[in-house]
Structure 1
Amino acid sequence: MKRPSLAPLACALLLTLGAVPVVQAQGDAEAPILVEADRLDLDDRAGTAVYTGNVDIRQGSMRLTGDRVEIRRNDAGELSLATATGERAYLEQQPDPAEPVVKGWGRTVVYHVAERRVELIDRAELHQGGDIFQGGYLEYFLDRRVVQARADAEGVEGSQRIRMTLQPEQQ
C-alpha cells in the first residue's frame, strides 16, 4: 500500500501562509518546515490533514499555532484553507526584514488561500507594526493591508467591542 506523502501538503501550507502581507519574507521558502503536534490524521483522498495537541508549525519567520490545525486542499491539490483553533490560536510572520512582525490571535484563525484573507474569530487581536486591532471578529486582507472589524459575528461569544490603537506616522 502506498503511503501518502505529508511533504506536499505541509509545503503548500507553509509556502502559502508565509505570505503576509504581499510577498513571502526573504528566506522563508528555503527554510526547513518544522511541525510539532501530538497527533496527525491525514486523509489524502479527501485532501485534509488535521494536527491536534499543542500544534506548532514554523517555517522561517512564519508561525501557526493552536490546539488543532486543519489543512484542506482543493481538487487540484493546492492548499485552499487552513484553520487553527484553540484558546488562543496564533499566526505570525515577518513580511520583510525591514518590517515588523505581523501577529494575529483568536479562538479561531482561518486563512483563505485563494482570497489571501485571514479571519480572526472570537477574542480577535491583530498587531501590525505599532497598530493594534481588537474585537469579536477581524478580517485582514493580505494584499491590500485592509482590516475590517466587527463586535459580533458567527462564532463570537457575545459582543466584543472594537478597539484600536493607531500609532502616529513617523516623519
Structure 2
Amino acid sequence: MILRLLLLLTLLSAPAAAQNAAIGFGAGDFDAAAPVEVAADSLEVDQATGRATLTGNVVIVQGDLRLSAERVTVDYATAGGDRSIERLNAMGDVLIVAGEDAAEGQEATYTLGSSDIVLTGDVLVTQGGNTLAGDRLLVNLESGAGTVTGRVRTTLQP
C-alpha cells in the first residue's frame, strides 16, 4: 500500500502529469446513429444559417449520453438535400453524463461526425468516487478515450 502511494505521488509530481492526464470516459460503446432527443424552454431557428438556438433547461439525449446546459446552438450540415446535426455548442453550467461517468464545465462542443466532445472552463470529471479536474477535457465517445489538460488535479479513492 505504501509503495503504491509513493508511486502515485511520484507520478503526480512529475511535470507532464501536472499538465495532462489520460482517462476513460463512458463505456466506449456509444451509438452515434441513435436518435437525438432535445428538450428546452425555448427554441429559435434561423433557416438562413441553418442554426437552431435552444435556451433554458436544455437537455439533449442520444443513447446513453446526456448533455444539459443553459444554452445550446445546433449547427446543421446539408448533404444531398438532407439536413443532419453536425455540431452542438453548449454554454453555461454544462453537464455531460455517459453511463456512470460525468463531466462538467462551462462550455462544450460536441461534433457528431467524429463523436468528439471538447469541454472547457473549470472541468470536473467524476468516475465512481474519483475526481479529476483541469482546464479542458477532450473525449471521444466511440473509443471512450479522453484527455484532461491544463492544471490537472485529482482525488483518488483507495
The answer to whether structure 1 residue 66 and structure 2 residue 56 are counterparts is: no
1:162 aligns with 2:155: no
Given the alignment, which residue of 24, 30, 38 partners 1:23? 30
Identity %: 29
Structure with the higher fraction of residues in strand conformation: 2
Letter in 1 for 2:54: Y
- In structure 2, the residue matched to 1:57 is 60
The question of whether the paired residues in 2 share the 8 Å contact of 1:33 and 1:57 is answered with yes
Structure 1 partner of 2:87: 81
Output the CA distance in 2 between the equivalents of 1:78 and 1:135.
32
CA RMSD for the aligned pairs?
3.0
Q: 1:146 to 1:63 in 2, by over 3 A?
A: closer
Q: Which has the higher contact order (CA 8 A, sep 6+)?
A: 2
TM-score by length of 2: 0.67
Task: Tell me what 2:20 maps to.
Answer: none
Native 8 Å contact 1:90 1:109 kept in 2? no
1:20-67 Cα distance to aligned partner (Å, 9 max, x none):
633339xxx48x9351x2321112342211101222234664322111
Amino acid at match of 1:33: E
| Structure 2, unaligned runs of 5 or more | 1-25
Contact 2:95 / 2:104 at 8 angstroms: preserved in 1? yes
- Return 5+ residue gaps in structure 1 as ranges: 1-18, 95-100, 152-160
TM-score by length of 1: 0.62
**What is residue 90 of structure 1 aligned with on the other side?**
95
**C-alpha displacement at 1:127, in angstroms?**
2.8
Greater C-alpha radius of gyration: 2
Distance 2:111 2:48 in 1: 21
Indicate whether 1:33 and 2:63 are aligned: no
- Structure 1 segment 110-125 matched on structure 2, within 5 A: 110-125=109-124
**The residue matched to 2:78 in structure 1 has which SS?**
coil
